């Protein structure tokens, strides 16, 4: 690699837009073209990743459809709406594509337009997931979240579209590999734990909270008022701490 050029076999020096500096021993490079016709080079390097400093902090993360994620410290990440915003534009582009003769020049032009809209949606989704997951790993040593059965949930035709848009599985994957890189820990709490039904103050189980429409409830035992998602995230944090009892420096 020389400045803004990379040397490729048979092609020689090829100019490219460098998105980030490459550090470490380069092993190989893979060239690929996406459906929108853009070429990308992925460079595999060998590098030592240093663990991030310990913060002594733990956090619970409750993901949902109303809000993307609610943290046990009260932070709320709103659901990204970029797909809904581009949905009409995508539908119109796909409608035009369906009227083109497959394989014709106009069909290929329209196919690229559709691919570019999909690319924008994908890039926007990955950007926000990367930002949230990186922030959590940097600032917390222990992250507790529910082990959701996403594949099973996608079979619900009424929720599949919304679940696909928020990409819970991709978010979990990002958290897990970043935590592994930087010496942090992600604890997956069993899906039958019913985190939203327990009072995070006294531990009373209020089965009426099974109703998803119930967003706020008062504990019959200690009369503490709970916001559903916040209470669930606190319970996830507490359960993650219980499961990792003996871990030093986390509170």
Look at residue 248 and tell me whether its pLDDT is greater than 70.
Answer: no
**Active site residue ranges:** 62, 146, 229
Average pLDDT over residues 163-188: 91
Q: What is the pLDDT of residues 15-57, one digit of tens each?
A: 988 888 888 888 888 899 999 889 998 889 998 888 999 999 9
Cβ-contact 144, 187 below 8 angstroms: yes
Mean model confidence pLDDT for the chain: 88
Q: Please classify residue 37 by burial: count the beta carbons closer than 10 Å to its beta carbon, then call 0-12 exposed, 13-18 middle and 19+ buried.
A: exposed
User: pLDDT tens, 68-116?
Assistant: 999 999 999 998 777 777 888 999 999 999 999 999 999 999 999 999 9
pTM (predicted TM-score): 0.84
Mean pLDDT on 237-241 = 94
């Amino acid at each position: 690699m020389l400045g803004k050029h990379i040397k490729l076999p048979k092609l020689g020096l090829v100019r490219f837009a460098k998105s980030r500096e490459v550090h470490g021993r380069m092993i190989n490079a893979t060239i690929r073209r996406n459906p929108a016709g853009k070429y990308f080079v992925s460079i595999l390097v060998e590098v030592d990743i240093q663990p991030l400093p310990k913060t002594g902090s733990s956090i619970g993360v409750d993901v949902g459809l109303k809000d993307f994620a609610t943290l046990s410290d009260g932070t709320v990440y709103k659901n990204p709406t970029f797909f809904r915003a581009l949905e009409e534009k995508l539908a119109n582009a796909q409608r035009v594509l369906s009227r083109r003769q497959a394989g014709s020049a106009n069909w290929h032009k329209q196919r690229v337009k559709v691919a570019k809209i999909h690319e924008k949606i994908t890039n926007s989704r990955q950007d926000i997931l990367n930002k949230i997951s990186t922030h959590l790993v940097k600032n917390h040593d222990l992250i507790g979240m529910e082990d959701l059965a996403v594949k099973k949930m996608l079979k619900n035709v009424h929720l599949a579209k919304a679940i696909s848009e928020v990409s819970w599985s991709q978010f979990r994957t990002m958290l897990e590999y970043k935590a592994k890189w930087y010496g942090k820990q992600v604890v997956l709490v069993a899906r039958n734990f019913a985190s939203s039904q327990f009072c995070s103050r006294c531990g009373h189980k209020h089965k009426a909270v099974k109703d998803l429409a119930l967003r706020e409830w008062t504990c019959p035992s200690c009369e503490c008022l709970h916001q559903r998602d916040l209470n669930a995230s606190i319970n996830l944090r507490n359960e993650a701490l219980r499961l990792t009892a003996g871990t030093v420096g986390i509170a």
